[in-house]
């Protein structure tokens, strides 16, 4: 299919922080965007689905070319109690199994399923570089990502892509929305030793990369991260410099653990140094290749 061909995309999680931006990006590129929603549809491009009950309006996939499946309960929205962890896992596995089953039943062997996952797949990989061939690691997030990716198995006969998304940097949400109030108040500082790696990507490049994956029909695992992951110490210094604020107040590991429990160990004190090897091998170029570019763009967009 020619990269510029207008296609019909079907999105889950279209109301989310990434989904809204992706829908706007794809529409601006001339594609048709349908949304699968868990409430009553509000217009002709909305279709009902509900991973909790298995309900699915099959009209959503009629004539569709690409599904981008983003839906899932927020990973960092609340402390990881046993019940919360179950919700995070089930909302991904149930939704993914449903979309994969329905994609397979749609009768279009070219229907491309692009299903979200995260760089948490690699576990706490320390400073080791993780391209898409790196093994999965240990911990709750790695377990979730493996189950999430495995849940597309019903669609194995179709082109399937697992996008392993990094920490997304953009306006009005995500990582920056959590960091800005702290850094703007001059209370920013490195987390723990500051050695944990963060594989970030700008939301703008994430949307472009998903369009690229669809246009070039890239299948298998694809790291959706920028080309220059940073340590937490680097991120801290960059944010302080951009905001003209001091960053002399490190957050000690024990305090983060006390405040956030297990989440602190997996989301803040550990990380991955993932590289977008497959995107780069297929010729994708980033508009925001450095964290400074991404953060500056996000701050200007606000
Ligand atoms: N933002 C990041 O930095 C980042 C990094 C790595 C991976 N990801 C992954 O990318 C996906 C989208 O991220 P986001 O930041 O846009 O998240 P978000 O703003 O929380 O949006 C997620 C969407 O998923 C749907 N959803 C929520 N709970 C659900 C449930 N229990 N069952 C089914 N659907 C549910 C909702 O859409 P409806 O109400 O319309 O159904 C919601 O708008 C998520 O799976 C996330 O884990 C994000």
- CATH code of the domain containing 212: 3.40.50.720
Would you say residue 4 has pLDDT above 80? Answer: no
pLDDT in tens, 194-207: 999 999 999 999 99
Nearest CA to 120 among 192, 160, 72?
72
The DSSP result for 15-27, as a single string, is TSHHHHHHHHHHH
* Lookup: tokens for 31: 């594609």
Of the pLDDT bands very low, low, confident and very high (cuts 50, 70, 90), residue 218 is very high
Residue 1 lies in a domain: no
**What pLDDT is recorded for position 2?**
52
Would you say residue 230 has pLDDT above 90? Answer: yes
The answer, yes or no, to whether any atom of ligand 1 lies below 6 A from the CB of 134, is no
**What pLDDT is recorded for position 302?**
66
Going by the DSSP 8-state scheme, the letter that residue 136 receives in this structure is: P
Of the pLDDT bands very low, low, confident and very high (cuts 50, 70, 90), residue 261 is confident
Question: How many Cα atoms are found within 13 Å in the side-chain-facing hemisphere of 162?
Answer: 22
The answer, yes or no, to whether any atom of ligand 1 lies below 6 A from the CB of 118, is yes
The answer, yes or no, to whether any atom of ligand 1 lies below 6 A from the CB of 159, is no
Going by the DSSP 8-state scheme, the letter that residue 212 receives in this structure is: H
Q: Please tell me whether residue 183 adopts helix, strand or coil conformation.
A: helix
Q: Do residues 127 and 74 lie in contact, with contact meaning Cβ atoms separated by under 8 Å?
A: no
Tokens 């929205």 belong to residue? 77
Q: What is the CA radius of gyration of the chain?
A: 19
Residue 222 lies in a domain: yes
Q: Which mutation among 10, 15, 16 tests ligand 1's pocket best, with the greatest number of atoms within 8 A of CB?
A: 16
**What pLDDT is recorded for position 256?**
85
Nearest CA to 178 among 198, 164, 158?
198
Nearest CA to 125 among 51, 220, 198, 215?
198
Cα dihedral: 66, 72, 77, 83 (round 10): -170
φ, ψ of residue 36 in degrees (nearest 5): -90, 125
Distance 246 CA to ligand 1 centre (A): 33
Residue 61 lies in a domain: yes
Distance 247 CA to ligand 1 centre (A): 31
Residues 185 and 252: their CA atoms lie apart, in Å, by 18
pLDDT in tens, 111-132: 999 999 999 999 999 999 999 9
Residues 271 and 194: their CA atoms lie apart, in Å, by 11
pTM: 0.97
**What pLDDT is recorded for position 1?**
46
Residues 157 and 30: their CA atoms lie apart, in Å, by 28
Average per-residue pLDDT for the chain: 95
Residues 173 and 157: their CA atoms lie apart, in Å, by 36
Residue 2 lies in a domain: no
**What pLDDT is recorded for position 234?**
96
Q: What is the mean pLDDT of residues 158-164?
A: 98
Q: Which mutation among 72, 121, 163 tests ligand 1's pocket best, with the greatest number of atoms within 8 A of CB?
A: 72
The answer, yes or no, to whether any atom of ligand 1 lies below 6 A from the CB of 75, is yes
Q: Which mutation among 10, 12, 13 tests ligand 1's pocket best, with the greatest number of atoms within 8 A of CB?
A: 13
**What pLDDT is recorded for position 259?**
83
Looking at the chain, how many residues does it have?
302
Atom of ligand 1 nearest to the CA of 52: 32
- The count of domains in the chain is 1
Residue 245 lies in a domain: yes
Residue 187 lies in a domain: yes
Distance 70 CA to ligand 1 centre (A): 6
pLDDT in tens, 35-82: 999 999 999 999 999 999 999 999 999 999 999 999 999 999 889 999
- Cα dist. 209→27, 118, 252 in Å? 15, 15, 36
When comparing pLDDT for 57 and 178, which is higher?
57
Residue 3 lies in a domain: no
Domain that holds residue 17: 8-301
- Give the residue, by CA position, lying nearest to ligand 1 atom 37: 13
Residue 55 lies in a domain: yes
Region for 195 from its dihedrals, namely left if φ exceeds 0, alpha if ψ lies in -120 to 50, beta otherwise: alpha
- Give the residue, by CA position, lying nearest to ligand 1 atom 24: 71
What distance, in Å, lies between the first and last C-alpha atoms of the chain? Answer: 36
């Amino acid at each position: 299919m020619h990269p510029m061909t207008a296609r019909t995309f079907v999105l889950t999680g279209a109301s989310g922080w990434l989904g809204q931006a992706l829908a706007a990006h794809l529409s601006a590129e001339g594609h048709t965007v349908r949304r699968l929603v868990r409430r009553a549809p509000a217009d002709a491009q909305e279709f009902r689905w509900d991973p909790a009950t298995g309900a699915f309006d099959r009209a959503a996939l009629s004539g569709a070319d690409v599904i981008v499946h983003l839906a899932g309960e927020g990973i960092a929205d609340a402390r990881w109690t046993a019940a919360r962890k179950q919700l995070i896992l089930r909302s991904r596995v149930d939704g993914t199994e449903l979309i994969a089953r329905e994609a397979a039943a749609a009768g279009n062997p070219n229907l491309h399923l692009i299903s979200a996952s995260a760089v948490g797949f690699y576990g706490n990989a320390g400073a080791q570089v993780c391209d898409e061939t790196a093994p999965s690691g240990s911990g709750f997030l790695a377990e979730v990502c493996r189950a999430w990716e495995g849940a597309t198995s019903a669609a194995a006969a179709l082109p399937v892509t697992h996008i392993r998304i990094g920490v997304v940097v953009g306006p009005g949400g995500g990582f920056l929305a959590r960091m800005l109030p702290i850094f703007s108040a001059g209370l920013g500082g490195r987390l723990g030793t500051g050695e944990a790696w963060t594989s970030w990507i700008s939301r703008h490049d994430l949307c472009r990369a998903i369009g690229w994956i669809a246009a070039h029909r890239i299948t298998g695992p694809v790291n959706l991260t920028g080309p220059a992951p940073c340590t937490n110490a680097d991120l801290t210094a960059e944010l302080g410099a951009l905001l003209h604020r001091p960053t002399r107040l490190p957050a000690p590991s024990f305090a983060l653990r006390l405040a956030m429990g297990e989440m602190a160990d997996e989301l803040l004190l550990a990380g991955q140094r993932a590289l977008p090897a497959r995107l780069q091998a297929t010729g994708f170029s980033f508009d925001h290749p450095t964290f400074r570019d991404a953060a500056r763009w996000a701050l200007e967009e606000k």
